[in-house]
């Protein structure tokens, strides 16, 4: 299982990259704003890209597919290997369908159940991100849900990669690894 860092903190990213365990980084607008609300997003993304070199998911903030696609085009003009993080919702799926036609990799985020994961895969997502911590926050068993998703993925030989996201503790990482999940994106403190 690959490990990504769920962060926009350059110091943390540099540190973990130096350990040789880092395959990528996922960001979101909250993580970027938390570091510095006045930061230039493009500049920060390119700084992260220069450190990691591997996978980097950059999230769009538009509410409709057209806006998401425009943002994706802009992000890809910053660096062509960007993975576009798109929210799980009907407009997000439309955007994923179009981006997949253009061979632009997408990471469908904010997935909370196997049906959403399957829909994202079928729309053409390259990655599907299940939010474990947030599921646990609302009294759901995130490991069971991840287990269902993993079972479906292996039964159906689906091509997209599962990301265990919203990781809050080391047991989330262990569960994801045992279930054959491809990637866990982990905050620095965990």
User: Site residues (CB under 6 A) for ligand E4P?
Assistant: 6, 26, 28, 109, 129, 131, 133-134, 165-166, 185
Residue whose CB is less far from ligand E4P, 6 or 98: 6
Q: From the CB of 134, what's the least distance to ligand E4P, in Å? A: 5
Which residues, 6 or more positions from 161, have their beta carbon under 8 angstroms from its beta carbon? 126, 127, 128, 182, 183
> Is 85 among the catalytic positions?
yes
Q: From the CB of 116, what's the least distance to ligand E4P, in Å? A: 14
Residue whose CB is less far from ligand E4P, 55 or 157: 55
Q: From the CB of 6, what's the least distance to ligand E4P, in Å? A: 5
Catalytic residue among 14, 34, 70, 85: 85
29-47 residues labelled b (16+ CB within 10 A) or e (exposed): eebbeeeeeeeebeebbeb
Residue whose CB is less far from ligand E4P, 106 or 166: 166
Decide: residue 127, CB within 10 A, 0-12 exposed, 13-18 middle, 19+ buried.
Answer: buried
List residues with catalytic annotation: 85
């Amino acid at each position: 299982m690959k490990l990504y860092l769920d962060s926009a903190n350059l110091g943390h990213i540099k540190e973990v990259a130096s350990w040789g365990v880092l395959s990528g980084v996922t960001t979101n607008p909250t993580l970027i704003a938390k570091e510095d609300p006045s930061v230039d997003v493009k500049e920060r993304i390119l700084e992260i890209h220069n450190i990691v070199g591997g996978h980097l998911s950059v999230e769009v903030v538009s509410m409709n597919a057209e806006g998401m696609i425009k943002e994706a085009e802009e992000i890809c003009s910053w660096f062509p290997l960007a993975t576009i993080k798109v929210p799980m919702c009907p407009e997000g799926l439309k955007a994923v369908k179009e981006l997949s036609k253009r061979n632009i990799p997408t990471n469908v985020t904010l997935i909370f159940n196997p049906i959403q994961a399957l829909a994202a895969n079928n729309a053409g997502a390259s990655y599907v991100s299940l939010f474990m911590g947030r599921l646990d926050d609302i009294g759901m068993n995130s490991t069971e849900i991840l287990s269902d998703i993993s079972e479906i993925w292996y039964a159906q030989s689906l091509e997209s990669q599962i990301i265990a996201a919203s990781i809050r503790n080391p047991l989330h990482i262990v569960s994801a690894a045992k279930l054959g999940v491809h990637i866990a994106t982990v905050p620095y403190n965990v």
